Amino acid sequence: MIPIVKQLLKYQNRHDLLNSTILEKFSLQQRITPICAFTDIDDTFIRRSQNPNNHARYQKATKNIISLLKRNAIPVIAVTARDLSGVVEGQSPATDNLPAFDVIASSVGTEIWIHTKENNYVKDSIYESKIAKKSNFSRNDIYHILQQAIGELQEKIPGIYLEFQPRDKEYNTLAYKYNVNPKLSSLTTEDAPQDLKISLEFHGTYLQVCYIKRYLKERLTGSNFEKVKIVISSGLTFSPKKTQFSIDILAASKGNAVSYLKKLLQCKAIAAGDSGNDIDMLLNASDASIIVGGCKIELVEEMEKYSLKKIDNNFSLLEDSNSITNRIIYQENDVHKGPESFLKGFLPLLHYFN
């Protein structure tokens, strides 16, 4: 029995998968265990630069990635902090010219959307139910705890910038609570808050944001929300002592989404990422990982906690005592960044699994 028939039998109770583009690619691979590419989008699959020459290089690298994956019938799964609308908007040639990803694990892994043959995206409601139940995520209760914690932290560290991101600010939360379409009524310009994700923004140092993460974790654990995830990701650097950080409070992580999809699709995962919200995906959930050049400080710091056995050039084995097999890691220096290092690392990893 050829692999695709086995896959169809597995998915006979999942009509969203039977009608998906991902199974078409599996049939072309003709592998017993198919391979999928799981990738962060910003600064990994694509990268921007104010330098026109660098920007053109990054765009070329992204096009080459798309061609490589297409030639090898490798499904590409976006695992991103963007929500679905942000990814779909990025598929326009006028914006980021992103491909039609076969699956989108959006909102830092708290939602999964499956691409159909009709070029639509269907939400995986089974995944959403599972992570909501497992994490005991109660948005209203957690939001109230975070409001109190922000006030306490502002007293402990005078002058810090620590606020809810616009989508989660109180005015936007109330606008959607009491109005059917507050955008239409011009009560807000933001999208609705998400059920399983609350995000904060902090400006300061890496040491400060690590302290804030620990403080929030203690507050949530003390209120019986110990299974809720907190991830940090750095953004713009304003000065040596001031960097922009996102602090996401989540029902699940990118790693949870990748683990779920690996089990569902019975596939091998080659994952690529660059920041703190990619850590769980890269170091715990994937079969092989690409840590792209130009990666953020929180990912660099996390990598230093692990024992790596050098294989050759940029390749190492992550020796994990909790895992049956060691994970192969491609770690790029800063010569090649974002999609350039994705491209450089992916083909050898593909050959490795062949």
Mean per-residue pLDDT over the chain, rounded: 93
Contact 271, 252 (CB under 8 A): no
* SS3 call for 248: strand
Q: Domain check: are 162 and 276 in the same one?
A: no
Q: Please give the Cα distance from 236 to 252 (Å, whole number).
A: 25
Q: Are residues 119 and 21 in the same domain?
A: yes
- The secondary structure of residue 168, as a DSSP letter, is G
Residues 325 and 204 grouped into a single domain: no
2: exposed, middle or buried (Cβ count in 10 Å: 0-12, 13-18, 19+): exposed
Lowest mean pLDDT among 76-85, 296-305, 323-332: 323-332
Asked if 144 and 122 sit in the same domain, the reply is no
Query: Which of the listed residues 250, 267, 283 is the one where a domain comes to its end?
Result: 250
- Which of 204, 232, 250 lies at the terminal end of a domain, its last residue? 250
pLDDT of residue 7: 67
CA distance 103 to 17: 10
Specify whether 102 is located in the same domain as 8: yes
Which of the pair, 207 or 326, is modelled with greater confidence?
207
pTM value? 0.95
Q: In what order do the strands lie in the sheet with 242-250?
A: 161-164, 197-204, 242-250, 229-239
Residues 231 and 307 in one domain: no
Structure tokens at 315: 């390749």
Alpha-carbon dihedral angle through residues 265, 267, 272, 277, given to the nearest 10 degrees: 50
Q: What domain count does the chain have?
A: 2
Only one residue has tokens 């892994």, namely: 109
Residue 9 has pLDDT above 70, yes or no: no
| CATH number, position 201 | 3.30.70
pLDDT at position 4: 63
Assess whether 34 and 103 both reside in one domain: yes
Domain containing 221: what range?
138-250
Q: Are residues 232 and 162 in the same domain?
A: yes
Same structural domain for residues 236 and 153? yes
Would you say residue 344 has pLDDT above 60? yes
Residues 26 and 128 grouped into a single domain:
yes
Q: Tell me: the pLDDT tens digits for 88-124?
A: 999 999 999 999 999 999 999 999 999 999 999 999 9
How far apart are alpha carbons 130 and 134 in whole angstroms? 6
pLDDT tens figures, 213-266: 999 999 999 999 999 999 999 999 899 889 999 999 999 999 999 999 999 999
Task: Please state the rounded mean pLDDT for residues 180-192.
Answer: 92
**What is the arithmetic mean of pLDDT over 70-89?**
97
Same domain, 62 and 150: no
pLDDT band, very low/low/confident/very high, at 1 (cuts 50, 70, 90): very low
The pLDDT value recorded for residue 10 is 73
What residues have CB less than 8 Å from 291, skipping those under 6 apart?
A: 272, 273, 274, 282, 299, 303, 329, 330, 331, 332
pLDDT of 321 strictly over 90: no
**CATH number reported for the structural domain that contains residue 60 in this entry:** 3.40.50.1000
Are residues 23 and 125 located together in one domain of the fold? yes
Model confidence at 334: pLDDT above 80:
no
Residue after which a domain boundary falls, among 208, 235, 250: 250
